[in-house]
Amino acid sequence: TEIKYTQQNQTVSGKQPATVEVAVPLPLDTTFHYRVPEDLAPRIQPGVRVFVPFGRRKVTAYVLRFSTPPEGQQLKGLLDVLDPEPLWTEAELTFFQWIADYYLHPLGEVLKTALPTGINLQSRSSVDGEAVSGGKKVRHERVFSALPADAPVKLRGKGLDILAFLRQSGSVSSAELKVRFGECSPNLRRLVELGLVRMSEHEVYRDPFAGLSVTKDSPKPLTLHQQQALTTILTALDSRYFSPFLLHGITGSGKTEVYLQGIAHTLAAGRNALVLVPEISLTPQLVQRFRARFCDGIAVLHSALSDGERYDEWRRIRRGEVRIVIGARSAIFAPLERIGIIVVDEEHEASFKQSDGLRYNARDLALVRGQQEQAVVLLGSATPLITTRFAAQQGKLGYLSLPERVGNRPLPATSIINTRMTAESPLSPQLIEALADNLERGEQSLLFLNRRGFASWLVCPACGADLQCPNCSVSLTYHRQRRKSLCHYCDYQVPAPCICPSCGELELKEMGVGTERIEHELLEQFPGARIARMDSDTTSGKGGHARILDKVGRGEVDILVGTQMIAKGHDFPGVTLVGVLQAEGSLYLPDFRATERTFQVLSQVIGRAGRGELPGRVLLQAMTPDHYGIAYAADHDFERFYQEELLFRQELNYPPYGFLAAIKLSATSEKSLTSAAEQSAAVLRSIKSRLGLRVEILGPAPAPLYRLRGRFRQQILLKDSSRAALRRLLIAYRREQSLPATVRMAIDIDPVDL
């Protein structure tokens, strides 16, 4: 940047006008050049935002680099420079350029996605201590401290008390003084005038986890396997070469301790750490573990932050005040420099993939960024993706294994209960007996069912009609407590129970089972038990999730019923029994990863049992007990599952053997969608033959959820063993397709939801 800056100064002083190349956040594949007016020249640098005339509009754009003005073109001038300092370094701009190329997404939109939304606040007024600088909201707080001077005799009363307090306490904020002394601004003003007290303004950060007390914790002596893994990681860190690893550790094997010690080593060597976790496991419990080890210099990024909070964290990171960033998928864009290690915990989680806009996968980008930074990348999981395990087998990733639980705790004894013939009650007699035993012993139990609500749907016993969402092609789910039937996709709701929409019958029959119904049954079976439910109905709002987890942690819950939410990463040492209802529930989704997902979630739930002193056991209720996705999960046998799943993938050329891309089309009119989808497929096929490609073109086919939020959806799936071939086809398609404005089209590279 320095060299460019000098060139910049020369052009300003001399012959030709300076020009910059910018990206605009619009669906356009090209970048644009603008002239830099002389008065703006000193403030312009790569990485700042500028305001530019664009067609008849004025838009915000991102400066990529200084450019040589294209010959004979009349360039428009920039209107304003919006940032005093670059938002990104050159290395970060390179990373974003890579993303734009790989995902075939406009660079300007990639940059916009990478910025915290709070940065776009353009308020010009100054409200209630919120000063506005360069269009950004910053909260300032006044802080007072005593100066070493003698207090004049005339100082008495409150003024004197405040001065004494400040002399004792160092710096104190005006807010705290107000709490202690009541309204005291006149006294403070007077103290400042007398030269007894100094006032300064500090920016305040809205720390979402402020107020949590942490007990300092030190590194634990490692188990043999942890030590072996860590030694390899430390050697890789010291080499300062890009070193990606799969850390394959069964549940309770102590992966987090390995992360923590790897990070400690990284920090000691002067480099920083980026930790990506699925949103759902980004709990105070996890953050606490990092705080307890590293105290300060940690930024936490998750979706419950307000725009302001998110922007605050972003700026702290940008200024180098942060050594560790922990966050959900978008934290991959954090402006952290000198990254030495990137951890992706629960790397198999589908939530690392963004499902709209820029459809990136943070797990994959961790490897890209890690390579650019010459960092260590740790992909940690008890149930790694088939593709990740395969990459380790091929030597593309180092393989680190933690095959035993800490403290030689056994994995829970797991039995499968065949419910094919007995589907009357959702809770089998064996499970009820086991729950009763556990209650008697005063031990905790978890019950997992991946469906919230009371019944799955309501059916009319007279005419057989069920209640469908008018916007999405799914049945509404009946929620008894809320007295509503609602759509789990678009939140469409109707009061329930209601009369049959087709024939007017009054009593609709409840079909299927949700967590709410299980909770209800448990309350009837075990009237004295303390029962809690955790699903998105009971955890809405900030901290709802943590509240329930805390109660379980303190032993105030005997039985916790929940969806996927209870499966992830929580460490409940008191849980000795896990029950799984409808283990086959997710096997038959129309997605080639359905078995892999079932295996993952079952393994995770099973892993919740017996993490403390007492051994655990698991009862799996399933209609298809012999299915390999269920049987191997019950046996804790990842390797056998992996081998069997690989055969299936190979046969159909699915990842890791073939690569996928999808073209996703949607419209409110079914007719225009269908013709657009067919036209797209025809364009693809003609490009394919023209370029002599072998890409499999599947579809167009209706998406498994054909109608969502009022839009019909079709997709075309592309499959090939060469990424380059897919890319050539897609680039040509993007250029040659012409879709009506009413049809939305998105390219999804490495799609995870089909």
295 labeled part of a ligand binding site:
no
Q: Say how far apart CA 529 and CA 527 lie, in whole Å.
A: 6
Q: Which stretch binds ligand ADP (CB under 6 A): 73-81, 215-223, 354-362, 424-432?
A: 215-223
- Residues 142, 184 contacting (CB under 8 angstroms): no
Q: Could you tell me which of 626, 625, 606 has the C-alpha nearest to residue 616? A: 606
Which of 60, 253, 388, 428 touches ligand ADP (CB under 6 A)?
253
Q: Which stretch binds ligand ADP (CB under 6 A): 172-180, 250-258, 633-641, 663-671?
A: 250-258
Q: Say how far apart CA 280 and CA 362 lie, in whole Å.
A: 15
Of ligand ADP, Zn ion, none, which one does residue 471 interact with (CB within 5 to 8 Å by kind)?
Zn ion
Give the residue with the Cβ less far from ligand ADP, 230 or 717: 230
Give the residue with the Cβ less far from ligand ADP, 253 or 387: 253
Minimum CB separation of residue 703 from Zn ion in Å reads: 14
Please, which of residues 421-480 interact with Zn ion by CB under 5 A?
A: 469, 471-472
Minimum CB separation of residue 248 from ligand ADP in Å reads: 10
Of Zn ion, ligand ADP, none, which one does residue 492 interact with (CB within 5 to 8 Å by kind)?
Zn ion
Pair of tokens at residue 83: 């940032």
Give the residue with the Cβ less far from ligand ADP, 113 or 603: 603
Distance of CA 541 to the CA centre of its chain: 17
Q: Say how far apart CA 387 and CA 363 lie, in whole Å.
A: 12
Which of 58, 180, 220, 734 touches ligand ADP (CB under 6 A)?
220
Token pair 């089309």 is found at 665
Q: Say how far apart CA 344 and CA 259 lie, in whole Å.
A: 10
Residue 283 is a binding residue for ligand ADP (CB under 6 A): no
- Residues 117, 107 contacting (CB under 8 angstroms): no
Q: Which stretch binds ligand ADP (CB under 6 A): 10-18, 68-76, 255-263, 353-361?
A: 255-263
Which of 254, 384, 579, 625 touches ligand ADP (CB under 6 A)?
254
Which of 443, 521, 571, 591 touches ligand ADP (CB under 6 A)?
571
Give the C-alpha distances (Å, rounded to integers) separating 458 from 149, 475, 497, 587.
78, 8, 8, 23
Q: Say how far apart CA 171 and CA 159 lie, in whole Å.
A: 16
Give the C-alpha distances (Å, rounded to integers) separating 748 from 80, 501, 587, 676, 699.
35, 38, 24, 17, 15
Please, which of residues 481-510 interact with Zn ion by CB under 5 A?
A: 487, 489-490, 492
Give the residue with the Cβ less far from Zn ion, 134 or 470: 470
Pair of tokens at residue 164: 């004494």
Give the residue with the Cβ less far from ligand ADP, 252 or 327: 252
Minimum CB separation of residue 550 from ligand ADP in Å reads: 16
Helical axes 638-652 vs 594-606, angle rounded to 10°: 170
Which of 208, 252, 574, 629 touches ligand ADP (CB under 6 A)?
252
- Residues 529, 439 contacting (CB under 8 angstroms): yes
Minimum CB separation of residue 251 from ligand ADP in Å reads: 5
Of Zn ion, ligand ADP, none, which one does residue 226 interact with (CB within 5 to 8 Å by kind)?
ligand ADP
Q: Which stretch binds ligand ADP (CB under 6 A): 71-79, 218-226, 598-606, 696-704?
A: 218-226
Contact partners, residue 355, CB within 8 Å, separation at least 6: 753
Give the residue with the Cβ less far from Zn ion, 418 or 471: 471
- Residues 236, 341 contacting (CB under 8 angstroms): no
Give the residue with the Cβ less far from ligand ADP, 475 or 604: 604
Maximum distance among all Cα pairs of the chain, rounded to whole angstroms:
96
Minimum CB separation of residue 256 from ligand ADP in Å reads: 3
503 labeled part of a ligand binding site:
yes
Give the residue with the Cβ less far from ligand ADP, 406 or 739: 406
Minimum CB separation of residue 564 from ligand ADP in Å reads: 17
Minimum CB separation of residue 494 from Zn ion in Å reads: 11
Residue 251 is a binding residue for ligand ADP (CB under 6 A): yes
Contact partners, residue 403, CB within 8 Å, separation at least 6: 225, 249, 250, 253
Q: Could you tell me which of 199, 98, 76 has the C-alpha nearest to residue 143? A: 199
Residue 249 is a binding residue for ligand ADP (CB under 6 A): yes
Q: Which stretch binds ligand ADP (CB under 6 A): 221-229, 277-285, 691-699, 726-734?
A: 221-229
Minimum CB separation of residue 361 from ligand ADP in Å reads: 22
- My answer on whether omega of the bond before 86 falls inside 30° of 0, hence cis, is no
Minimum CB separation of residue 287 from ligand ADP in Å reads: 14
Residue 707 is a binding residue for ligand ADP (CB under 6 A): no
Which DSSP state fits 331?
G
Q: Which stretch binds ligand ADP (CB under 6 A): 251-259, 508-516, 627-635, 724-732?
A: 251-259
Pair of tokens at residue 582: 């409808």
Of ligand ADP, Zn ion, none, which one does residue 490 interact with (CB within 5 to 8 Å by kind)?
Zn ion
Please list the residues that pair with 357 across neighbouring strands.
none
Residue 41 CB coordination number (10 Å): 17
φ/ψ of 735, rounded to 5, equals -75, -35
Residue 257 is a binding residue for ligand ADP (CB under 6 A): yes
Which H, E and C letters describe 31-62, residue by residue? CEEEECCHHHHHHCCCCCEEEEEECCEEEEEE
CA angle 46, 307, 215 (to 5 degrees): 105
Of Zn ion, ligand ADP, none, which one does residue 313 interact with (CB within 5 to 8 Å by kind)?
none
Q: How is 196-226 classified by DSSP, letter by letter?
A: SEEEEEEE----TTTT-------PPPPPHHH
Minimum CB separation of residue 559 from Zn ion in Å reads: 31
Of ligand ADP, Zn ion, none, which one does residue 222 interact with (CB within 5 to 8 Å by kind)?
ligand ADP
Minimum CB separation of residue 372 from ligand ADP in Å reads: 28
Q: Could you tell me which of 92, 133, 91 has the C-alpha nearest to residue 114? A: 92
HSE value, Cβ hemisphere, 13 Å, CA-based, for 188: 21
Residue 406 is a binding residue for ligand ADP (CB under 6 A): yes
Q: Which stretch binds ligand ADP (CB under 6 A): 166-174, 252-260, 668-676, 736-744?
A: 252-260
Of ligand ADP, Zn ion, none, which one does residue 256 interact with (CB within 5 to 8 Å by kind)?
ligand ADP
Of Zn ion, ligand ADP, none, which one does residue 254 interact with (CB within 5 to 8 Å by kind)?
ligand ADP
Single-letter residue type at 373:
E
Q: How many residues bind ligand ADP (CB under 6 A)?
A: 15
184 labeled part of a ligand binding site:
no
Q: Which stretch binds ligand ADP (CB under 6 A): 217-225, 298-306, 323-331, 478-486?
A: 217-225
3-class SS of residue 655:
coil
Which of 226, 330, 428, 485 touches ligand ADP (CB under 6 A)?
226
Give the residue with the Cβ less far from Zn ion, 251 or 475: 475
Of Zn ion, ligand ADP, none, which one does residue 472 interact with (CB within 5 to 8 Å by kind)?
Zn ion
Pair of tokens at residue 9: 């100064």
Q: Could you tell me which of 1, 101, 97, 108 has the C-alpha nearest to residue 46? A: 1
- Residues 66, 46 contacting (CB under 8 angstroms): yes
Give the C-alpha distances (Å, rounded to integers) separating 85 from 126, 260, 297, 408, 527.
22, 33, 22, 53, 63
Residue 222 is a binding residue for ligand ADP (CB under 6 A): yes
Question: In a 10 Å sphere around its CB, with 0-12 CB exposed, 13-18 middle and 19+ buried, how is residue 494 labelled?
Answer: middle
Minimum CB separation of residue 343 from ligand ADP in Å reads: 11
The binding site for Zn(2+) comprises 460, 463, 469, 472, 487, 490, 500, 503
Provide the binding-site residues for Zn ion, judged by CB under 5 A.
Answer: 469, 471-472, 487, 489-490, 492
Provide the binding-site residues for ligand ADP, judged by CB under 6 A.
Answer: 220-223, 226, 249, 251-257, 406, 571
